[in-house]
């Protein structure tokens, strides 16, 4: 089992509440290294509208490289505009995953639209930054990864990677909408696609991670990290019903692979769980692993899927 030492919560949206678009949540952290700081992208929300509905925005917080528990700066504006009328990202951009591409930074993000019979649908878009990651422009006004016969809706949770000269996109695809206490809840599974240019994608069209706790287990945040000669995936999973509390809420799972497509799940190795008390006592989710100056960190969310911010843990030893 890996041993993660929790360092505590790093960023709470209350720290930046003078920004109207950043009132609650700091979800789905994603790190990008700069010379003397670590930029962590996350998704947040303004106050809900009169009908209690939220939109999601995405932004970043810069952490001191020498001590990533110290916040240096919070973005002044969201990094991405919301989409236009009827576009796939009209009502939210959450989550975001970024990667350097030469002098540019590429972002893959999930765009949210609102539907009549189910509350929402989600699709994955692509955007590019030419100002060092402060702002991003959409590459197109539609999604970069279309729905297909076996991935009919709710394409979300993108994690962009480049191994072996190829682009990989790990993401989740909705399997079904399940009625839970009269309310439709999506069941989704971890999938992947590959590309030569990050624009035209070929889907593997298979579930990467077998379901463990129940057939309708929902899986999210497939965060892939290469270390010790193989690939490690930390991800989040939960029950399909009653998941807003401690017993059936998100936990962090683990799988490994030597070829990126065949994964062996072993959650007993994940090495991080809910705390007895504190900000992450009910759930832990949306893991993101990154290396920083010889140490391996995991950014993750606590209770209510990041309503009160994200925290960091540091690995004792190495991933192997």
Partner 1 sequence: MSSMSFRKLGRIFDPAAHALPAGCLQFAQAPQALVLEDRIRVYFSTRAVDREGGKLRSHVAFVDLTRDLSEVIGVCREPVIALGGLGAFDEHGIFPMSVVRVGDEVYGYTCGWSRRVSVSVETAIGLAVSRDGGASFQRIGEGPVLAASLHEPCLVGDGFVRIIGGRFHMWYIFGTGWRRYAPDAEPDRTYKIGHATSEDGIQWVKEEARQIIDDRLGPEESQALPTVIDIAGRFHMFFCYRQSFDFRRNSARGYRIGHACSDDLEEWHRDDENPRLAGTPGEWDSDMLCYPNAVECDGRVYLLYNGNEFGRHGFGAAVLEEGPAR
Q: Is the peptide bond before 99 cis (omega within 30 degrees of 0)?
A: no
43 close to 95: Cβ distance less than 8 angstroms: yes
Please state the closest distance from residue 4 (CB atom) to partner 1, in A.
36
- Judged by CB under 8 A, does residue 149 bind partner 1? yes
3-class DSSP assignment, residue 184: strand
Q: How far is CA 297 from the centre of its chain?
A: 15
Q: Is 147 in the site for partner 1 (CB under 8 A)?
A: yes
Does 225 interact with partner 1 (rule: CB under 8 A)?
no
Among 139, 180, 204, 241, binds partner 1 (CB under 8 A): 139
Check binding of 84 to partner 1 (CB under 8 A): yes
Q: Is there a contact between 55 and 91 (Cβ–Cβ < 8 Å)?
A: yes
Query: With binding defined as CB under 8 A, does residue 158 bind partner 1?
Result: no
CA 41 to chain centre: 10
- Does a cis peptide bond (omega within 30 degrees of 0) precede residue 162? no
Does 50 sit near partner 1 (CB under 8 A)? no
Query: What residues does 43 pair with on adjacent strands?
Result: 27, 58
Please pick, from the candidates 118, 180, 227, 241, the single residue that binds partner 1 as defined by CB under 8 A. 118
User: Which of 60, 91, 171, 279 touches partner 1 (CB under 8 A)?
Assistant: 91
Q: Kindly state whether residue 183 participates in binding partner 1, applying the rule CB under 8 A.
A: no
* Binding residue count for partner 1, defined by CB under 8 A: 38
CB-nearer residue toward partner 1: 139 or 213:
139
Give the range of 12-20, 96-104, 171-179, 306-314 binding partner 1 by CB under 8 A: 171-179
Q: Does 85 engage in binding with partner 1 (CB under 8 A)? A: yes
**Shortest distance, position 168 Cβ to partner 1, whole Å:** 18
Record the tokens describing residue 221, joined without a space.
Answer: 């945040």
Choices 28-36, 177-185, 231-239, 298-306; region in contact with partner 1 by CB under 8 A:
177-185
Residue 117 sits in the site that holds partner 1 (CB under 8 A): yes
Q: Which of 2, 45, 59, 151 binds partner 1 (CB under 8 A)?
A: 151
The contacts of residue 298 (CB under 8 Å, 6+ apart) are 4, 234, 272, 287, 288, 289, 312, 313, 314, 315
Which residue among 55, 96, 126, 252 contacts partner 1 (CB under 8 A)?
126
CA distance 191 to 150: 11
Closest to partner 1 by CB, 149 vs 294, is 149
Q: Of residues 174, 302, 306, 311, which one binds partner 1 by CB under 8 A?
A: 174
Neighbouring CB atoms inside 10 A of 82's CB total 16
CA distance 158 to 258: 21
Q: Which stretch binds partner 1 (CB under 8 A): 23-31, 68-76, 138-146, 246-254?
A: 138-146
What is the C-alpha end-to-end distance of the chain, expressed in Å?
10
In contact, 87 and 116? CB cutoff 8 Å:
no
- HSE-up (13 A, CA, CB side) for residue 60: 24
The contact set with partner 1 (CB under 8 A) reads: 84-88, 90-91, 113-118, 121, 123, 126, 139-144, 146-154, 174, 176-177, 179, 184, 186, 199
């Amino acid at each position: 089992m890996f041993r993660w030492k929790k360092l505590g919560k790093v960023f709470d949206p209350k720290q930046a509440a003078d920004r109207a678009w950043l009132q609650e949540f700091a979800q789905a952290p994603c790190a990008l290294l700069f010379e003397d700081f670590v930029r962590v992208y996350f998704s947040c929300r303004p106050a809900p509208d009169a009908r209690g509905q939220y939109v999601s925005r995405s932004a970043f917080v810069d952490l001191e490289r020498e001590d990533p528990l110290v916040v240096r700066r919070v973005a002044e504006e969201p990094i991405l505009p919301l989409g236009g009328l009827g576009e796939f990202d009209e009502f939210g951009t959450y989550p975001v995953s970024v990667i350097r591409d030469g002098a540019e930074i590429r972002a893959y993000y999930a765009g949210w639209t609102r539907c009549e019979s189910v509350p929402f649908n989600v699709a994955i878009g692509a955007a590019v930054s030419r100002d060092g990651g402060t702002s991003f422009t959409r590459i197109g006004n539609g999604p970069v990864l279309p729905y297909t016969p076996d991935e009919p809706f709710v394409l979300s949770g993108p994690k962009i990677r480049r191994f072996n000269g190829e682009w990989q996109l790990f993401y989740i695809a909705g399997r079904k909408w399940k009625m839970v206490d009269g309310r439709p809840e999506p069941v989704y599974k971890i999938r992947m696609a590959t590309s030569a240019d990050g624009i035209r994608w070929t889907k593997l069209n298979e579930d990467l991670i077998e379901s463990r706790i129940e057939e309708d287990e929902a899986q999210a945040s497939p965060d892939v990290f290469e270390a010790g000669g193989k690939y490690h995936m930390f991800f989040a999973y939960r029950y399909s019903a009653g998941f807003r509390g401690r017993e059936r809420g998100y936990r962090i799972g683990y799988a490994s692979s030597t070829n990126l497509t065949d994964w062996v799940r072993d959650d007993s190795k994940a090495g991080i769980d809910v705390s007895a008390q504190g900000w992450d006592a009910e759930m832990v989710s949306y893991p993101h692993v990154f290396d920083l100056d010889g140490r391996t960190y995991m950014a993750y969310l606590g209770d209510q899927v990041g309503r009160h911010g994200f925290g960091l843990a540091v690995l004792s030893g190495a991933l192997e």
